[in-house]
Amino acid sequence: MTSPSPLLRPYRPEDREALFDICVRTGHVGEDARHLYPDPDLLPNIFAAPYAALEPELAFVVEDGGRAVGYILGTADTASFVDRYRAEWLPGLAERYPAPGRQPASRAEEMTALMHAPERMIVPELADYPAHLHIDLLPTHHRAGHGRRLMAAFLDALNEQGAKAVHLSTLTANTRARAFYDRVGFHEIAVPDAGTVTYLGRSTQ
């Protein structure tokens, strides 16, 4: 008897544990980041969980063997998301992750500083690409078409909400991720002083 094929479906609240696991296990240039962060919930609380909580209608997963192994999530309007993140999401984390009172001295402190600065997501050069996304897939499920399927579902959902274009940021060093984004229609957006990241965008159609 053959195993069922991985299933693409909307995110459900019971996927939260898997969502956190996928995020941290792909959080270091696409590889496992658990050794870099004493608290494995830190990255997911910045880059995954707030989207699932605030805009669940834009969250999709690939399920295999009864558990999510990849996800895509994001927002149709970055500026509105930033406002909601600060008002509704950040207060619940401030005690667990207080804002650093000094120059960050570790990766964890750098990420905590990012957590407390959601306005960093508003970049003038990205104004024509108001939506943004995050997509992660466990390495065991790469190169099987799941990323394309997730992206297609997300773009369709954005288009239904009236969002005409979307952006993302990727570490410039992550050449494998960049190759995938190129294949699914993203192009580079020039952003001065972008540091170690590259910004990419495309229409939702």
pLDDT in tens, 120-151: 999 999 999 999 999 999 998 988 899 999 99
**Which of 110, 127, 116 minimizes the C-alpha distance to 191?**
127
Looking at residue 1, what is its pLDDT?
Answer: 54
**What is the pLDDT, as a whole number, of residue 72?**
98
pLDDT for 143: 86
For residue 102, name the pLDDT band (cuts at 50, 70, 90): confident
Give tens-digit pLDDT for 48-89.
999 999 999 999 999 999 999 999 999 999 999 999 999 999
Domain 7-203: assigned CATH number: 3.40.630.30
> pTM of the full predicted structure?
0.94
Q: Is the pLDDT of residue 177 over 80?
A: yes
- Please tell me the predicted confidence (pLDDT) of residue 101: 85
Sign of the CA dihedral with 62 first, then 68, 71, and 75 last: positive
pLDDT at 186 > cutoff 60: yes
C-alpha span between 47 and 134 (Å, rounded)? 7
Q: Are strands 60-64 and 67-75 parallel, antiparallel or unpaired?
A: antiparallel
pLDDT of residue 159: 96
Confidence bin at 2 (pLDDT 50/70/90): low
